[in-house]
């Protein structure tokens, strides 16, 4: 049982066959005999090794193959080819001994029974997993306290809000003290408070309980604050596997800055016209572009406009210049700036950059 790796895949591949049917009843009948398929490689020769106790973030844009990978790791779907071992089992055999040792929570799917109350569900899971009384009680008390959901235990699951349900899903998944926890976008659609609570929960589960966790999320903050190690996947292939800090350092080269103004602006001509990605002529008439730059807002050098509103401007700036730009913005009071927000770049850009195999500041 003491294997060095808790998860190990070699050349793991999943090819989906998409069934294509002609429209109408005739098409249906015809397709009973003559099926036409198109193939889609969702996960492509994927190698992954995870050691016990690791907390791995799985990131990639939509359609990258993250969920497909998680489905294979949990045995829900069978791989098309490649080797796969989780906790020493081949997941798709669906052995009960295996199922009792992991848990999976998918943000978009429910493991709960909608007609039951959480309390009933917990008790049902206690029996399903043969959880000893004391361990069960300890876990329920602990997690219910942590999430502050004691008031919701006796209402039907279907009446819970998304965030409330997600907390219950997580509690339910952890009742049997799984050794491995798979999480597919557990924080999707949740508010900041719930996201923080869930992060605290996951940190606890990983650190104090020693569970190995594989987490996919589109929220950079989840991965950055939870996962020491990140795996980036795109088009079913692994692009990066290493320390999260290094990933962000090397590839998250820009910051997103949102500037709000007290009144509507007639933005001066942007410096240069480089990379105006998202500006679909938001500012119809850019009339008076006078030379008086003194009281008018001008985009800092090297910035890329992302969005422009009447009283709002969003742009990207190379990370190492963000300090200087912010200082400049706050220094110039005449501009009438009411608010400045600084955010991380989202995963799409990071992946694009890794994909391009470059971490230079080259404009795309």
Partner 1 sequence: MKKYLAIAKTLFKAQIVYRFDVLMTALGTVWRVVFAWILWGAVFAAPAAASGAAASLTIGGFTFQEMLGYYVVASFLASLDLSGGVSGEVSTRVRDGSFSKYMVIPASPQFHFLAQNLGASAYYAAFSVAVACACAFFFRVQPVHANSPAQLLLALLILLPGLAFMVCYHFFVGILAFKFQDVGFFLHVQGNLIEFATGAIVPLALLPEGAMAVIRFLPFPYVTYMPAMLICGRAGVAEGLFGLAVVAVWLAVILFVNRCTYRRLRIKFDGVGV
Which residues sit at the interface with ligand ATP, rule CB under 6 A?
A: 16, 18, 40, 42, 60, 62-68
Q: How far is the CB of 71 from Mg ion (least distance, A)?
A: 9
Which of Mg ion, partner 1, ligand ATP, none has residue 142 at its interface (CB below 5 to 8 Å by kind)? none
Q: How far is the CB of 115 from partner 1 (least distance, A)?
A: 5
Contacts of 363 (CB under 8 A, 6+ apart): 274, 275, 304
123 binds partner 1 (CB under 8 A): yes
Q: Can you read off the two tokens belonging to residue 267?
A: 């933005």
Task: Give the integer Cα–Cα distance in Å for 113 and 116.
Answer: 6
If the CB atoms of residues 69 and 299 are measured against partner 1, the closer one turns out to be 69
Size of the site for partner 1 (CB under 8 A): 39
Contacts of 8 (CB under 8 A, 6+ apart): 48, 49, 50, 83, 84, 85, 86
Calculate the CA dihedral of residues 182, 184, 190, 192 and round it to 10 degrees: 60
16 binds partner 1 (CB under 8 A): yes
116 binds partner 1 (CB under 8 A): yes
Q: Which 8-state DSSP code applies to residue 160? A: S
71 binds partner 1 (CB under 8 A): yes
68 binds Mg ion (CB under 5 A): no
Task: Give the integer Cα–Cα distance in Å for 241 and 250.
Answer: 13
Q: How far is the CB of 294 from ligand ATP (least distance, A)?
A: 47
Question: Residue 182 CA to chain centroid, in angstroms?
Answer: 13
Which one of the spans 104-112, 202-210, 217-225, 342-350 is the region binding partner 1 (CB under 8 A)?
104-112
187 binds Mg ion (CB under 5 A): no
Task: Give the integer Cα–Cα distance in Å for 197 and 190.
Answer: 10
Which one of the spans 36-44, 60-68, 143-151, 264-272 is the region binding Mg ion (CB under 5 A)?
60-68
Task: Give the integer Cα–Cα distance in Å for 119 and 241.
Answer: 40
Question: Which of 100, 203, 296, 312 lies at the binding interface for partner 1 (CB under 8 A)?
Answer: 100
Q: How far is the CB of 108 from ligand ATP (least distance, A)?
A: 8
Decide: 102 and 71 in contact? Cβ < 8 Å. no
If the CB atoms of residues 38 and 62 are measured against Mg ion, the closer one turns out to be 62
Contacts of 46 (CB under 8 A, 6+ apart): 9, 11, 12, 13, 65, 69, 82, 233, 236, 237, 238
Residue 312 sits at φ, ψ, to 5 deg, of -150, 145
Torsional sign, CA 25, 30, 35, 36: negative
162 binds partner 1 (CB under 8 A): no
Contacts of 295 (CB under 8 A, 6+ apart): 334, 335
78 binds partner 1 (CB under 8 A): yes
If the CB atoms of residues 67 and 304 are measured against partner 1, the closer one turns out to be 67
Q: How far is the CB of 67 from Mg ion (least distance, A)?
A: 3
If the CB atoms of residues 121 and 304 are measured against partner 1, the closer one turns out to be 121
Question: Which of 42, 50, 58, 67 lies at the binding interface for Mg ion (CB under 5 A)?
Answer: 67
115 binds partner 1 (CB under 8 A): yes
Cα–Cα distances in angstroms (integers) from residue 77 to residues 49, 67, 292, 330, in the given order: 19, 11, 64, 54
Residues at the contact surface with partner 1, assessed by CB under 8 A: 16-17, 19, 21, 28, 31, 67, 71, 74-78, 92, 94, 96, 99-100, 103-104, 106, 108-111, 113, 115-116, 120-121, 123-130, 156
């Amino acid at each position: 049982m003491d294997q060095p790796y808790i998860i190990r895949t070699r050349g793991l591949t999943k090819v989906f066959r998409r069934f294509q049917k002609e429209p109408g009843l005739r098409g249906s009948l015809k397709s009973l005999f003559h099926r036409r398929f198109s193939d889609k490689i969702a996960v492509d020769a994927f190698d992954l090794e995870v050691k016990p106790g690791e907390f791995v973030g799985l990131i990639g844009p939509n359609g990258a193959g993250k969920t497909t990978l998680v489905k294979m790791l949990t045995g829900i779907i069978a791989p098309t080819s490649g080797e796969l071992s989780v906790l020493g089992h081949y997941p798709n055999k669906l052995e009960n001994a295996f199922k009792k040792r992991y848990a999976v929570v998918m943000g978009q799917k429910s493991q709960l029974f909608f007609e039951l109350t959480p309390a009933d569900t917990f008790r049902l899971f206690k029996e399903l997993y043969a959880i000893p009384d004391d361990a069960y009680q300890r876990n329920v008390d602990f997690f219910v306290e942590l999430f502050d959901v004691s008031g919701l235990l006796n209402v039907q699951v279907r009446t819970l809000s998304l965030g409330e349900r997600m907390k219950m899903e997580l509690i339910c998944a952890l009742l049997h003290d799984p050794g491995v926890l798979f999480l597919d976008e557990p924080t999707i659609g949740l508010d900041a408070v719930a996201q923080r609570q869930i992060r605290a929960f996951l940190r606890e589960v990983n650190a104090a309980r020693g569970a190995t966790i594989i987490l996919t999320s589109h929220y950079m903050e989840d991965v950055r604050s939870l996962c020491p190690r990140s795996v980036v996947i795109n088009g079913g292939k692994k692009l990066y596997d290493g320390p999260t800090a290094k990933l962000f350092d090397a590839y998250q080269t820009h910051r997103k800055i949102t500037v709000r103004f007290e009144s509507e602006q007639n933005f001066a001509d942007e410096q240069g016209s480089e990379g105006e990605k998202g500006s679909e002529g938001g500012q119809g008439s850019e009339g008076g572009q006078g030379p008086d730059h003194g009281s008018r807002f001008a985009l800092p050098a090297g910035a890329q406009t992302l969005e422009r509103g009447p009283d709002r401007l969003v742009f990207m700036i190379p990370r190492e210049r963000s300090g200087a730009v912010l200082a400049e913005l706050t220094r110039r009071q005449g501009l009438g700036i009411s608010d400045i927000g600084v955010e991380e770049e989202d995963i799409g850009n990071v992946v694009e950059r890794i994909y391009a195999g470059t971490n230079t500041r080259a404009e795309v």
